[in-house]
Structure 1
Amino acid sequence: MEIPFDASVVHQHASRLLLEGNKVTVTQIADAMQIEPSDGLQAELERWWLEVEGQVPFRKSLRSDYHRPEVPETVYQSVQMIWDNALKDARLELELAARNTVDTSTNDQGLSSDDELYLSRTQIEALEDSNQRMRNQMMDRDTSVKNLEAERAMLRSNLQSTESNVGDLERLLAQARGDAEQAASSRDEAKKQLDQRMKEEILRHQEGMNKAESKLSYYRHQLDKLRDEWGKKEGALNARLQDMQAQVARNDVTNDTQIRQIRSQDEELKRFRGEITNQSRNVSASNTQILATNNRLKRLEDELQLREAEIKESKKRGLLDKADSTRRETELRNLMKDKDTELNLSLAKVSELQRIMIAREEEIRRLTAKL
């Protein structure tokens, strides 16, 4: 009686034996599963072989550009031939195994004859394929030889052109060396001329600096003299102005005194007029007193007129003195403005000379730094 078994277990044991490099047979599978060999186990093993055959891409050629490795053409063709022969041998073994399992009643002698015939045909096909590959390789090699000869001729022509170019380059190199030597001599001469010009420029700038310094010292001396003269004149003008201001103050005091006197006389005149008014009421009382009073009044009026004339004369003199002092003050101010203008011009000239001197010093420093 046949013992039942699991097909997946059979496939697992067969795959394990194949991966270990052992031959997969019904006996080894039965020993691994600890069961007796049977036809069902044989049939399941054949199904496993068919699945394995379906997983192997026998009919895919290595000539595909996608699977082709980066190896020389000769090595690739040799490996391709070995691979095709291996595929044919494997296919032959599979067919023989299938025939052994399907037709168990066939005579062993007839089977061996058919196998030998099949093997012979297979070998003949392999030899024909190999001969065809060899012919193709020979044609490829002839083509390669022709290409190499053409390339050699091209390289010879390139070599000749390169030799001519080398000769031209040597001539150009000699000419360039001559030009370089001439340029070096010209450079030395130009350097000497530049050094000479630099020395001359430095001497000229030094002379200009000396002249500018002498002018600057002269202008400074003149400026000091102008400052001293201006100080003296300013002191004299201030003293004169103070004297005039004192005179004006004295005139103001005199005018004030005279004005106070006039006011007192006006008050006295008013008082006298009041007395005259009172006495006029008593005219009939004393004509002598009236005459005396009239005489006194006339004298007072004459004196008043005299005082008024003196006051007017004093006012005129005060106005004249004030106008004179104003005129003198204006003249002094104009003189001070003129002196200030001259001083500003002198200061501007000094500033311009200082700026020129600074520019010359900067240029001398730059030339010295270049040297």
Structure 2
Amino acid sequence: MPSVLIFVILTTIAAVKINAVGFYQYFTSDSAFIENNYVKPTEDKLTFPKQKRNLIYIYAESLESTATSKALGGQMDENLLPELTALAEEEGIHFSNTDKEFGGAQQLPGTGWTIAGMVAQTAGMPLKEPVDGNDYGTGEGAQFLPGMTTLTDILADQGYNQVALFGSDATFGGRRTLFTQHGNVKIDDLLTARKTGRVSKDYKVWWGYEDSKLFEYAKEDATKLSQSNKPFNLTMLTANTHHIGGYVEKDMPNQYSNQYSNVIAFSDHQIVEFIKWAKTQSFYKNTTIIVDGDHLGMDVNYYKKIPESGRHTFNLVLNAPKTTTTVKTKNRQFSTMDMFPTTLAAMGVKIKGNQLGLGTNLLSNQKTLIEKKGLKKVTNELSENSKFYNNTFVFNKK
């Protein structure tokens, strides 16, 4: 197919996705915002502790602080996350955008679906792809932001063994490409489970296999990783709370009249049960655990009475080094991009300037981009085209 025709097809698809006005604006604009604010995560900016800490990073599908009670800072009459909130209050670090106990991140353009949320949290950057973002990085020979430095790149350079665990086919959304091309992360997904006999060759429920299996396999993976003399990173993604309505496991309690509320509450329990197990393991004393919603929930009917301005992704940092200090955890205006440097800081890594990518270490006294420039300004700028982004990260031009 002639390249001109391919371009026409792609741009036509993009025009439909964005709408005609947005399409024209996107491709004729060039914001310098990313170029002016991007901090490249170079080795000289990072100082790892002598004893490197392990990392367990749980991307909780569509998990929002919105699911907590109104009294705690959420939007529900009852707290659907009783176990996570109790854990946060007892021993964790949680960042809230208000003066209430629980709030969370603002969702910025290019961070609002799973793979984009992962890019935001591992690279401190939005995923700026005008064509369908879930198709990026999935074709034969595809690359995934080859010019970008991610958390898994950094950990690979520091000698970490790394596994990314998914209960679905990791190819979807470009997850396989993102993690294998950035840090040579070992993929443990639905296809792996079928191949190794964890599940039958034709097993498929919901997106692949249910979260109860995911956490059992996570225990196996963490145990195996901990037996090496190298530090490890185990990253996983839950799926039961995906829209629409979530996945009902057979032993899920039926506490509420709404199915999705029950699924959220059960996911809360499953995540904390896994954390309780981790706390009994010998590797835990040197392991930081992060629980973070990958993006805002997409179940439109469930959230239809709640304005998006009142919705924020959940975050929790557990077992950071004892030397970790928190300057300010409430009334923070931030995005999921700030989790990139915050995660490293929660692992005991010293960050020169406390900024990486477009993210800011929330454990420091440094203001985030949103706090410095305002949500509207950052949102508008990230909605614009950026030649710097395209040339530096997509096309990897030196």
TM-score w.r.t. length of structure 1: 0.16
| Greater RCO, CA 8 A, separation 6+ | 2
Flag the structure with larger Rg.
1
TM-score w.r.t. length of structure 2: 0.15
The structure with more helix, counted as a fraction of residues: 1
